[in-house]
Amino acid sequence: MSERTQVAIIGAGPAGLVLSHLLHLQGIESVILESRSRDYVEKRIRAGMLEQRVVDLLISTGVGERLKREAMVHTGLNFQFEGERHRIPLEELTPGRNVTIYGQQEVVKDLIAARLAAGGVIRFEAAGQSVQGLDGLRPVVRYTESGELKELVADHIAGCDGFHGVCRGAVANSKVYEKVYPFAWLGILAQVAPSCEELIYARHERGFALHTMRTPKLTRLYLQCPVEDRVEQWSDDRIWSELSARLNIPGWSLKDGPIVDKGITEMRSFVHTPMQQGRLYLAGDSAHIVPPTGAKGMNLAIADSMVLAQALAEYYKSGSSEPLLRYAADCLPRVWRAQHFSWWWTTLFHRFEDADAQFQEQLQVSQLRYMLASRPALTSMAENYVGLDRVV
């Protein structure tokens, strides 16, 4: 027996959960299939910086109560090079706008709680195997749950299953734009209060380092490392000593504490087009990946879902497929703006070791100095960092 719903959503990450939540507010039914357990997705440590428009969305749609209480609003950030730290006043440069620190796992927890409280259906440990019939009126998801193969029939399918999901492979005639960076990030979560109230992006001759945080008691730190490095090569002592070497400046030193999470992430820029095929729509990391330097991944995933929810609402209200047919075209300008910003921000701070390395270093320093001297240049950076309302 097949189950039926209006919108089948594969993946309970930020993209899938926001989509399901927004559809519910429009009276549209959905079922989310998630291959992992609830406990796993609620504890998965990933992103932590929300753009203003995402915060506004979560609050205005009723899932921002805890965020309002617990999140940390940042009105500026720091960048550091040639041994000096400079504070960039984001809010002053982009009047009334700022960024908010609130862990992705907290966003996910709040959305899961809201969906379940509203009677929403999320099937955890239900892994999508294939999507079929995409060019017809009743596409089908085949998935496994408790060892059994099952079917979910829908009017539309949202592929919110991340970079390693099954949906992207179902899109025919695809074109991929990709850049893989010659370095990785070693990221840690440490039980220690942040050493600085705001983020520090450090360009250093030993490689890039980032000081950020998740809560007033949890610091998140990243180090540029070789792609081939394994976590086992990085003892806690080695991590703290390398972080201090790259982040410390006279009069300021990094506080250390117990490391509770440690991982290495590859750095990639990736866009898959088209983002749709018949009645399948890709949203979030299933369609695009940015290097985490610009903190855009979760924000972009949620931006796609906002566009898709609006298009589906129009479809169910007026019967018009126009907004759905335009879905990818409506998403891609924002995707490419975030791609450019994330690539640029990455190349500005990381150490390169190829033939152009010395040339690149001079360009980095020149651009960083120029931004400090030019308010328009700094404003351009700031408006991309806090997130643009409209992208053309």
Ligand X SMILES: Cc1cc2nc3c(=O)[nH]c(=O)nc-3n(C[C@H](O)[C@H](O)[C@H](O)COP(=O)(O)OP(=O)(O)OC[C@H]3O[C@@H](n4cnc5c(N)ncnc54)[C@H](O)[C@@H]3O)c2cc1C
Binding positions for ligand X, rule: CB under 6 A: 10-16, 33-36, 41, 46-49, 104, 127-128, 160-162, 165-166, 187, 265, 284-285, 292, 295-299, 301
Q: How far is the CB of 230 from ligand X (least distance, A)?
A: 16
74 has catalytic annotation? yes
21 has catalytic annotation? no
Q: How far is the CB of 117 from ligand X (least distance, A)?
A: 20
Among candidate residues 255, 149, 267, 244, the one with its CA nearest the CA of residue 197: 255
Q: How far is the CB of 74 from ligand X (least distance, A)?
A: 12
User: What is the rounded CA–CA span in Å between residue 101 and residue 215?
Assistant: 8
Q: Which amino acid is present at 375?
A: R
From the list 24, 102, 292, 315, the catalytic residue is: 292
User: What is the rounded CA–CA span in Å between residue 176 and residue 273?
Assistant: 6
Q: Looking at the DSSP assignment, which residues form a beta bridge with residue 209?
A: 202, 223
Q: Looking at the DSSP assignment, which residues form a beta bridge with residue 266?
A: 184
Q: Work out the angle at residue 219's Cα, subtended by the Cα atoms of residues 103 and 262, and round it to the nearest 5 degrees.
A: 85
SS3 125: coil
Q: How far is the CB of 167 from ligand X (least distance, A)?
A: 8
What's the token pair of residue 174?
A: 């695809």
Q: Which is nearer to ligand X, 26 or 130 (CB)?
A: 130
Q: Is 219 exposed, middle or buried (0-12, 13-18, 19+ CB in 10 A)?
A: buried
292 has catalytic annotation? yes
From the list 201, 222, 281, 315, the catalytic residue is: 201
Q: Which is nearer to ligand X, 100 or 364 (CB)?
A: 100
Which single residue is written with the structure tokens 């609830």?
38
296 has catalytic annotation? yes
Q: How far is the CB of 134 from ligand X (least distance, A)?
A: 16
Q: How far is the CB of 166 from ligand X (least distance, A)?
A: 4
Q: Which is nearer to ligand X, 41 or 322 (CB)?
A: 41
182 has catalytic annotation? no
From the list 181, 281, 315, 385, the catalytic residue is: 385
Among candidate residues 383, 353, 375, 347, the one with its CA nearest the CA of residue 201: 347
What's the token pair of residue 67?
A: 């965020």
From the list 296, 315, 327, 350, the catalytic residue is: 296
Q: Which is nearer to ligand X, 81 or 341 (CB)?
A: 341
Q: Which is nearer to ligand X, 48 or 371 (CB)?
A: 48
Q: Which is nearer to ligand X, 2 or 321 (CB)?
A: 2
User: What is the rounded CA–CA span in Å between residue 64 and residue 66?
Assistant: 6
CA 83 to chain centroid: 30
Active site residues: 74, 201, 292, 296, 385
